[in-house]
Amino acid sequence: MREISGRTKTVALFGYPVEHTKSPHMQNAAFAETGIDGCYIAFSVSPGELSGAVQAIRSLGMLGVNLTIPHKEAVLPLLDEIDPEAVFIGAVNTIVNRNGRLCGYNTDGRGFMRSLAEAGIAVAGKRVFMLGAGGAARAVGYYLVQEAASLIIANRTKDKAEQLAADLDRLRPVVSVIASSDPGYAALCGEVDIVINTTSLGLKEGDALPIDSAFFNPRHTVCDLIYHRTPMLQAASSQGARIIDGSGMLLWQGALAFELWTGQPAPVDIMRKALGD
């Protein structure tokens, strides 16, 4: 156990709730491995307390924080600077305190892409089918659209899919929307190369699958942003598809945040081991 001293710098997670987070385990392992005199704590911050908690980053001289539900969007007006990627996504998951100036970043999308790259999966030239159009879809979509041959979005609320598609299409015009009721839906599912679930379906036991499992085939790479092997991933695997869960994205978004706070390379293997413990 490292000793906390008068010089120890603090990083925190602000969320509501935070009890089940694995981030302190992962980030404290990184501080221990690198010898940086820092520690990471999770704080339960209710929405009404967010503004005061953000001000405390300055007044307590913290290195920065991570933000999770429900603060990622609400924090934007409280910051001094926001990275263009986070502006597009409309959400911040990492704040860096630069001498009292609070700078917001979003490492989710880049974290997802790093997890794919690490697994040897290239998006360039691929047809990508993304299920969902919430905050995580916007974060990963920002990167997918820059490389994919095409990006097709399906979402329960079609208006949200259309809004996200219009925003992403302005970055690169390869984006379209499909409804599950569309007669071409099944054929499209069979033709794409990569399927990505960004919906929260699969988080809870008994959730419906976000896509009919009959559509999967051995050509598919199927990804879920949820950290565990969801029923969708199990179904895809049993049909011969390659599967990737969200644990790599969780690891890499944290590693990228560590690098933003400390300016040093993250000890990724140590952080991965801590997540697995």
Active site members: 72
d(CA 251, CA 253): 6
Q: Which residue is nearest to ligand NAP (CB)?
A: 134
Q: Which is nearer to ligand NAP, 3 or 44 (CB)?
A: 44
Q: Which is nearer to ligand NAP, 56 or 121 (CB)?
A: 121
Which are the contacts of 256, defined by CB distance < 8 A and separation ≥ 6? 94, 107, 110, 111, 114, 266
- Which residues form the interface with ligand NAP (CB under 6 A)? 108, 132-137, 155-157, 160, 198-201, 203, 225-227, 246, 249-250, 253
On the 0-12 / 13-18 / 19+ scale of CB atoms within 10 A, 6 is exposed
Which are the contacts of 235, defined by CB distance < 8 A and separation ≥ 6? 209, 213, 216
The token pair that represents 145 in the structure block = 């659209």
Q: Which is nearer to ligand NAP, 38 or 132 (CB)?
A: 132
Smallest gap, in angstroms, from Cβ of residue 36 to ligand NAP? 23
d(CA 263, CA 22): 22
Place of tokens 């404290």: 28
Smallest gap, in angstroms, from Cβ of residue 2 to ligand NAP? 26
Q: Which is nearer to ligand NAP, 58 or 160 (CB)?
A: 160
Smallest gap, in angstroms, from Cβ of residue 15 to ligand NAP? 12
Smallest gap, in angstroms, from Cβ of residue 179 to ligand NAP? 12
